[in-house]
Structure 1
Amino acid sequence: MVGENVAPVIIKRKKVIVGGGHHGGAWKVAYADFVTAMMAFFMLMWLLNATTEQQRKGIADYFSPTIPLSPVSGGGDGAFGGNDIFSEMTLPKNGIGGSKENASKSDKAKGDSGPDDGKKDEEAFSTVEQALLGHSGESEAADETMRHIVTRVTDEGLVIEIFSLPGRPIFAESGTTPEPILRDIAGMLGRVTRLVENDVAVEGHVTSIPVVKEDKPVWALSAGRADVMRQLLEQSGLSPARLSRVTGHADREHVTPNPLDRRNDRLEVILLRSDL
């Protein structure tokens, strides 16, 4: 019979799975989220370094969930600086702001505290720095005194840092008794700070203690030394009304990698900006 020797036809049905082997590409979505998060993180770090305190406050107010658009501080540095219209016109009309005639102490609006105040502060800081430099070169004793002092300008103001040197501490070992070098420095600072009107803050820092103790004296020691410096400044002619704060930071803020370095044993006298 025809066809008896014909081989049977076998049909194979193969199931094709699209996207198999990589979980359907879901890893790409997760990776994209990760890259976006990292980009946002690095942008945040850049903003913290590249903006002023006023600009950071404006950005924070803008993204505040309770203030969809802040009418107080825009954080910009262009026309009006994101501040003048609201501070000097709109807010005073609403009774919640300040003006040049009726300045408010609130940090939201300070009346006449714009570029003029910033320029005035910079001139004051420059005056004090020049006065300090004028004390160097007069004698070997004056040059030795200046070795214990460095200055820097920050968002807070002019920081005058007085620190110990190896073999030349500013306080008696583990105590609050000032050495003669510190008394000389305090007298000099009392004279130069009278050249300006900025308020003053005094901060104390100490080096770490190598021995583990149940009750470390670093907090009391740093606060006590800051208070001694306050007394020395007042004795040198600084008005007590200009003192804004006296604080101790213990051994929490080092200026060198080695926490036991004598350089970390220091005081900071800060001429504060007018808008703080």
Structure 2
Amino acid sequence: MSSVVKYASISIALLSVFQVTNSIAADAKNMNIKLATTTSTYHSGLLDYLLPKFEKESGYHVGVLAAGTGKSLKMGENGDVDLVMTHAPKAEAYFVEQGFGVLPRKLMYNDFIVVGPKSDPAAIFGTKDVISAYKAIATSNSTFISRGDDSGTNKKEKILWAQTKIEPNFGGYKAIGQGMGPTLNMANELQAYTMTDRGTWLAYQTKLDLKVAVEGDKKLFNPYQVILVNPSRYPTINYDGAKALSDWLVTPKAQQYINDFKLAGQQLFVASAE
């Protein structure tokens, strides 16, 4: 065999190995899905319960980035993730309208509650009117801990304060720029009021010296959607994997899983796919 033929054979063999290696790497990459979601779905334990079932059935692996709705949508806008699971309807509509997201789907809902110290300095325990409760907190200058992190919870809180016609700048109001868990912990330390999603509250309540102050107001309804990042804007995302997860989440089986998930004997989320 001539040296030219020998080197050519080696080059072809190396090229084949390189192509196979790249193909395996590409396949492995395509089996990874990046999901940006809220701290409420993360801290409640729902995703730890739900996603392994999808992974077992599909072979995909889902990497979760829990950062609050605002930051999750920003990751979607930047093409850093493949899909988002969030709970801020106006921000989600803008996300889709601007061409960052496609195929928005209703997934589930739960509700927000206001919790506070057992001493109840604003005298709001038992009320079902969150607007009057917020007014009482402000006028009594009680301590209120806000997430202040542009999350879905924070966005909802701002909407409620706007309806009170009171600027949340009274002396007891503290915005801390943290997730729901740390916010609850700080409210506990300062014996303050705060607004939380019910799921995170149920996950934390046994560790806290706080009680539910306000619940049941329709204004506290909290719907979640799952939205795919637009592949025409970001062709390198794993759209097929993201769609597989989105498709699975709205199946009757997955919706039943969502309904079955409980903490402290209480159902946290109500499936709402259409």
TM-score (norm 2): 0.29
TM-score (norm 1): 0.29
Greater share of strand: 2
Larger radius of gyration between Structure 1 and Structure 2: 1
Greater share of helix: 2
